[in-house]
Amino acid sequence: MIGQNRGQEQVFRRFFASLAENPITTMFVAINVAMFVVLSFTGGSNDATNLYRWGAKFGPAIQDGDWYRLFSPVVLHSGWMHIAANTFALVIFGPRLERDFGWLAFLATYVVSGVCGVAASYLVSPALSVGASGAIFGIVGAYGIYLVRNRNDFGVSVNPLILNLAIVLVINIFFGILIPGIDQGAHVGGLIAGITIGWALSPKRVVTIEDDFFIFGNPIVRTRFKRVSNKTIIVSASIGLFIALAVSWWVSNVIDYDHATMGIYGFYELATS
């Protein structure tokens, strides 16, 4: 029993240490939990009307001008299992990306992937949806492409990790197809966005040679992974958000929703006015 308690204590210490060392990951975890508490005390996180009230994605609402709904769904979750699964994935993968890419690149990857996930969901379905899944898929995709791009420098030991990431993504997408109610559009959209921006923001291997070997003998060769500039991060994030907004603008001006969907929209508006 003592050994078990010590083991649990070490797990909690590592968990909180990881959060303390990665402030952006901690910030997103805190925001998601805080919003879940708000939902729970204002009507419930499983109540569709309450989710709509707090900014859930719903096609007709975005079409009618609620553009903030491209951002707000990323911090909302429906039910304990939903937030627990996304928080677990964020705590597992977030610190890795934040540590290797830097806080600003991680922030850009998470936000762009989340918004692109919502835009993709808006493209394929008007249905009400919430969750950080698009952002989570995005950071997993970004970390995966970072490993792939630098696999020759990391060595063969990184190959099993790349394979594990690929298996995790395939399994999640597969179950997303089989299980009703899962927003597959957000998953795939966030993943594509994460892979794309991850390619642009991945740290790259840099080799430097120190000492003049003609004078001091053999040179000192140092290898490090150089992060991209803040300018590159801002430009990449701006392009990603522009694409999400352009897709959403196209949907808003081309798609016509049926009477049933518009009836639901009218009910939500009436119930939350």
Would you say residue 180 has pLDDT above 80?
no
Would you say residue 1 has pLDDT above 60?
no
Query: Is there a catalytic annotation at residue 187?
Result: yes
pLDDT at res. 51:
97
222: helix, coil or strand? strand
pLDDT at res. 216:
55
Would you say residue 30 has pLDDT above 80?
yes
pLDDT at res. 4:
56
Q: Considering only residues 61 and 161, tell me which one the structure prediction assigns the higher pLDDT.
A: 61
DSSP string over 75-106: G---SHHHHHHHHHHHHHHHHHHHHHH-HHHH
131: helix, coil or strand? coil
**Domains in the chain, start-ordered, CATH in brackets?**
24-272 (1.20.1540.10)
pLDDT at res. 36:
97
Tokens at 56, concatenated: 């859930």
Residues 248, 231: Cα–Cα separation, whole Å: 26
Would you say residue 259 has pLDDT above 80?
yes
**Selected catalytic residue, list 45, 121, 133, 236:** 133
Would you say residue 249 has pLDDT above 60?
yes
Which segments of 1-156 does DSSP mark as H helices, in order?
2-21, 23-41, 48-53, 59-63, 80-101, 103-124, 133-149, 151-154
Q: Considering only residues 114 and 173, tell me which one the structure prediction assigns the higher pLDDT.
A: 114
Would you say residue 235 has pLDDT above 70?
yes
The whole-chain average pLDDT of the chain stands at 88
Q: Considering only residues 160 and 264, tell me which one the structure prediction assigns the higher pLDDT.
A: 264
| Top-confidence range, 115-119, 177-181, 223-227 | 115-119
**Selected catalytic residue, list 187, 202, 236, 248:** 187
pLDDT at res. 73:
97
Give the confidence band of 173 by pLDDT, cuts at 50, 70, 90.
confident
Mean predicted confidence (pLDDT) in 165-174: 78
Q: What is the pLDDT of residues 196-226, one digit of tens each?
A: 999 999 998 765 556 555 555 566 656 667 8
Distance separating the N- and C-terminal Cα atoms of the chain: 55
Q: Considering only residues 66 and 11, tell me which one the structure prediction assigns the higher pLDDT.
A: 66
Mean predicted confidence (pLDDT) in 183-187: 91
pLDDT at res. 190:
96
Would you say residue 243 has pLDDT above 90?
yes
Would you say residue 2 has pLDDT above 60?
no
> Are 86 and 93 a contacting pair, CB within 8 Å?
no
